[in-house]
Structure 1
Amino acid sequence: MDIWQEMYEKAKKEYFPGDVTPFIYAHNVVSAIEAENGEIFVGFCIESCSGVCNLCAERVAALNMYTNSGQTHIKRVIAFRDQAPTENDSASLPCGACREFLMQLDEKNKQTEIMVDYAQRKTTTLEQLIPNWWGSSRQADN
């Protein structure tokens, strides 16, 4: 089993969409991330009637990683709904808020591999999705 299959299988266990309350819906998008040390952390999407309370699966997985290990560098990300990512499935790519959060979390995350097509094992990097990131100069100053 390769790392992508391991990540897919762990995330897939979190896919069971449903209502948490009449106001909150969860588990309709799932994600797994591989941290710098090789540990895998998972997350699932949480959506509420108040949009500011929504959290995407990728951010939940990253927060789980940080909370449980203190790590900030992410080597790989996979996200999907009911099936593995395909090139035609926009749900497999992090949204703008997730891209921004991952970039701010660790400057090395620009090299994070993001699964685009699971069957073909095609990936992209966070840097390719968010080129010329506004915070690069600020990180360079530290």
Structure 2
Amino acid sequence: MTNKVLLTFANAAMNKAYVPYSRFQVGAAIETSSGEIYSGCNVENAAYPEGTCAEAGAIAAMVLGGDTQIKHIYVMGKGENLVTPCGGCRQKIREFSSLDTQIHICDENGVRKTLTMEELLPFSFGPENLSPEN
């Protein structure tokens, strides 16, 4: 899949975000190992901790679509600073990634920084850390 296609999906998702409280839109687009694309946007709630992140929405769509392996994830937000996944989303991405999965941090102009899963969440805990008995 091309970078431009995934940026388009992330941008479309970002522009659909439901953010009446923070007004901070985030979109995410996932390309899976099978070549499918899934996207998600952040959704806020008046009970603040009950909102969901764009990455979590895209992962839920991916699982619903029958995929479980992230090849690339594009996370898009506006502003001067990089809009990276929060700690919880880093762990969610890790669940469905290899250590060399690429996380692309973007704004509307394109990719600003690319990190591997290992760089984004070093010394992470993943499915392979659990014993087969669990």
How would you bin the TM-score normalised by the shorter chain? 0.7 to 0.9
TM-score normalised over the length of structure 2 = 0.78
Q: Find the counterpart in structure 1 of residue 118 from structure 2.
A: 127
TM-score normalised over the length of structure 1 = 0.74
> In the TM superposition, what are the counterparts of 1:73-112 in structure 2 within 5 Å?
73-82=69-78, 89-91=81-83, 93-104=84-95, 106=96, 108-112=97-101
Which has more strand, going by share of residues? 1
1:58, 1:98 within 8 Å by CA — same for their partners in 2? yes
Q: Find the counterpart in structure 2 of residue 11 from structure 1.
A: 10
CA distance in 2, matches of 1:18, 1:38: 24
Over the aligned positions, Cα root-mean-square deviation in angstroms equals 3.0
- Percent of residue pairs bearing the same amino acid type: 28
Which has more helix, going by share of residues? 1
CA distance in 1, matches of 2:17, 2:59: 22
| Runs (5+) with no aligned partner, structure 1 | none
| Runs (5+) with no aligned partner, structure 2 | none
2:129 aligned residue (111, 134, 138): 138
Instruction: Check 1:45–1:79 CA distance in 2 against 1; reply closer, same or farther (3 A cut).
Output: same
| Residues 1:30 and 2:27 aligned together | yes
CA distance in 2, matches of 1:136, 1:3: 29
- The residue type paired with residue 52 of structure 2 is L
